[in-house]
Every structure is written in structure tokens, then in C-alpha cells.
Amino acid sequence: MGFLRKRIYATAGYNTMSMGHGRKEFKPKEKRPGIEHYIKEAGEGALAQIKNPEAIDEGVITNFMMGRYNRQGNRPGFFPMIHPSFRYKPATGTEGACDSGGLGLVVAVKTILADVADAVMVVGVEVQTTVKAVYGADYLAGAGWYHDRKHGHAHFFPGQFSDRAGACFEKFGKEKIREGMTWWYVQAIENARRNPKAQEYHNTIKDLYTVGMTPPNPKVFCDNINVYDCSKVSDAGTALIFASEEGLKKLGVDKKDAAELVSWGQSEDDITDPQPDLTKMLASQKAASLAYERAGLSPKDIGVLEVHDCFSIAGLLMIEATGFAGYGEGADFVTAGKTKRDGEIPTNATGGLIGYGHPVGATGVRQAVDLVHQFTGKAGDCQVPIDSNRPYGLMVSMGGSDITVVSMIFKKPE
């Protein structure tokens, strides 16, 4: 069995539309759905794919900052709302900034491995369009050490990744890194245009490259990144069910409609300690390395990839952290088209955080859902061919500026 003491499967993935600026349906001056809407839609979307909802033993609700965006706490209390049979069943809430969803996935898997459940539903949600961007920037600063807020950029997190980009410019050459960041943006939008639920689905910009190369304007934003380098403020929900073999039977799900979990890696850095090297994602590298080691695999075995690209520079650094490109070579790897749909390692096929959107507490779950869809043939126009010689999929979900990280490897069941 390798790392896992018994087989674990992921099934019934469902993503809501990522709502926010860019979607034609988004009406900022009109009343919009709250977190309960997205939790219920995502949860019911998952339940519609199984035969026996009552067979779900527990739930996990993942969210980052609903206490501030929505003035609501007590995440687990929303689980029973999804289905009548969930009332009085156990539920847990997880928070780890942008990796809140990744932590929820791990909680579900550990619960099944502990033999206290056979099927656990994970629902991720975030509703961020309730406040103006400048206030949201203050809320999101809590993903890092808030102690540094008064010393940081007004747009705190964009400022942190702008600093990462600047460090890479200095070390590896601005022209090369800027080119790679732009091609990452182009790829994200092109993939999102194939995904009807993506926030950038309606994007009609003809010359994406020229737009992506827009020079940064420090007077209104950041020194080293432009707004196109950023993921957008998003409202969305996503759901996925983890189950043992017995759990799949209870749910009435055939293995062909599931992906098998092979391993995971989890890593935590010190949020109070400055990053030792802004040109590296060391916690992400550790989490990915753990997943590889536990599975007895390496990057050459991975046929499809989902990485956390909250900013385009993060995408480049993730390619290096996951072992697909050497240190300082991520930009060249992307510029060469190796992460495109028909490239060496298809990456973020549904648009990633820049293309699909970044509903923070839901993102890690969404990444897993999209990998499951790839392995079950349910990715629609976002489906990519998976080489039989590289039959595994890897996801890396990151919280903060490389602080809280979860990686998972999936494959098609035998």
C-alpha cells in the first residue's frame, strides 16, 4: 500500500462559478449571494453525483476570513445545511489562509485513515466581494504576520509578491523573469476561456501578451508587478468527497468515477520569521518533496499539475519548487510553452488562481476537484491528455507567502 495504510479515493467534485469582476453576471451594486449559497450549491452539486448522501459520515468546511468579510464565525455549523441527513453529524472547520482548503483535504483523509469515518465531504468557500479592495487587502494581510502590516505595502500581499518578483529580477535578470510572468498570465487566461465557471471565461482581450507586459505603476499599485499578474477577488464554493473502498460502496460510486489518492505532503514555515530567500518557495518545495518521497515518485511521473499561482511570479516559483525546472529556470520553462495544455507538463488546465479565480478558503479544494475531473474524464473542454508513462497528478496549495502548504498526488484507480 505504500505510504497509506488503506486506499483512499476522491470523488463527486463540484465547483461553483467563480463570481467577481470579469464575469458578465457580476453586478457589484446589487445584493449578492452569501457564503451559505455557495456552500449549499457546492455541497448539493457533489451529492448529485452519488446515490446515498446519508452515507457521508462527517464534513469539513474550509474558509479563510469569513469572520471579517462576512461577519460570520463557526464554520462547521454550515455543514448540516447541505442535506437533512447531515444534522448532528460531526463537522470541522479549517483555516490556513490561502491553504485553508488544502488543510481541509488532509483532515478528511486523516479521519478516514483513523477508521472513524468511511466518507467525508470537504466544502471550501470564500465570499470576498463584500468590501472594497483596499479593505480586503487589510483582511488578507492576516495570511501573513499582521505585525508587519504597518511596515508593508498598502496592498500588503501583492506587495510581498512584488518583492519576490523584484528579488528574482535582480538575481536572474528582469527581462527573463518578466517574460515568464507574462506567458504565465497568457496561459492562465487561455485556459480559463475553456472553463465556463472561470472568472476570466468572458475575457476577450486579443493581445494578451502585450497586456501582460504592462509596466508596473508604483504610484497606484506595486513596484514589480502589474494588476494582470494578480489573481482576482472571488466568491465561490467547491466540494469533494473522500472515501475508503467501503465508503465508495456505501455512497454507490464506481471507482471509474473517482481518483485514488497516492500520497500527500504537508509543510509549515514560521509566520513570524522573514523568508530567508525570496527567490525560493522552500515550504512548497518541502511539501512536494514529501509527497514524491512517500509515493516513491518524482516529477518525471507526473502528467498533470495544479499549483498555487496567486500571482504570476508564484507560478514560476512553484514550477521550480515542484521539481519541473531548476532554480532560476522556471521562467524559461514557462516561456518555452512547457506548462501549456499541449506542453511537457499541462499546468492549471482550468485557469488556475489567475484564470479561474481565487476564492481563498476554497482554492485548495478546487485544485483537488480539478485533478479528480482530469482522472475521471469530466474536465470538459479543459481535459488534457495524460501520458500513460506519467499517470499521476500533483497539486500544491499554499497559504500566505509560502507559509502553510499541502501537496497531494492522485492517479486513476486500477
Backbone phi, psi, residue 266, to 5°: -135, 140
Dihedral (CA of 280, 282, 283, 286) sign: positive
**What is the model's pLDDT at position 1?**
60
For position 155, what pLDDT does the model report? 78
First to last CA, the chain: 13
Please give the distance of CA 337 from its chain centroid, rounded to a whole number. Answer: 22
Extract the C-alpha cell encoding 34: 452569501
Task: State the pLDDT at residue 149.
Answer: 82
Confidence of residue 151 (pLDDT cuts 50, 70, 90): confident
* Per-residue model confidence as pLDDT tens digits over 273-319: 999 999 999 999 999 999 999 999 999 999 999 999 999 999 999 99
pLDDT > 90 fraction of the chain, expressed in percent and rounded: 92
Q: What is the pLDDT of residue 109?
A: 98
pTM for the model stands at 0.97
pLDDT digits (tens, 9 = 90+) for 307-346: 999 999 999 999 999 999 999 999 999 999 999 999 999 9
Say how far apart CA 43 and CA 326 lie, in whole Å.
40
Task: Express each pLDDT in 90-126 by its tens digit.
Answer: 999 999 999 999 999 999 999 999 999 999 999 999 9
- Structure-block grid coordinates of residue 219: 504610484
- The reported pLDDT for the residue numbered 132 is 86
How far is it, in rounded angstroms, from Cα 277 to Cα 291? 23
Per-residue pLDDT, averaged over 20-44, amounts to 96
Q: In sequence order, which residues have a C-beta less than 8 Å from that of residue 177 and are 6 or more positions away?
A: 165, 168, 169, 313, 316, 331
Closest by Cα among 396, 298, 380 to 341: 380
CA distance linking residue 39 with residue 123, whole number of Å? 7
pLDDT of amino acid 101: 98
Q: Please state which of the ranges 50-54, 96-100, 261-265, 273-277 shows the lowest mean pLDDT.
A: 273-277
Q: What value does the mean pLDDT take over residues 371-389?
A: 96
pLDDT at 252 over 70: yes
Q: Compute the average pLDDT of residues 235-261.
A: 98
Instruction: Give the C-alpha separation, 21 to 362, whole Å.
Output: 18
- Of 7, 253, 280, 10, the residue nearest 121 (C-alpha): 10
Which helix (H) or strand (E) segment holds residue 120: the answer is: strand 119-127
Q: Which three cell numbers stand for residue 13?
A: 467534485
The one-character DSSP state at 241 is E
Chain segment 124-135, per-residue pLDDT in tens? 999 999 998 888
For 182-223, write each residue's pLDDT tens digit: 999 999 999 999 999 999 999 999 999 999 999 999 999 999
Instruction: Indicate if the pLDDT at residue 153 is higher than 90.
Output: no
DSSP characters over 288-336: HHHHHHHHT--GGGEEEEEE--SBHHHHHHHHHHTTSS-TT-HHHHHHT
Q: Please state, for a pLDDT cut of 70, what percent of the chain lies above it.
A: 100
- Look at residue 35 and give its three-state secondary structure: helix
Taking 90 as the threshold, does the pLDDT of residue 148 lie above it?
no
- Determine the average pLDDT of the residues in 67-83: 97
Element (H, E) at 259: strand 258-268
Domain 8-132+233-256 has CATH 3.40.47.10: yes
Tell me how far CA of residue 82 lies from CA of 15, 18, 59, 270, in angstroms.
15, 20, 10, 36
The confidence score (pLDDT) of residue 67 equals 96
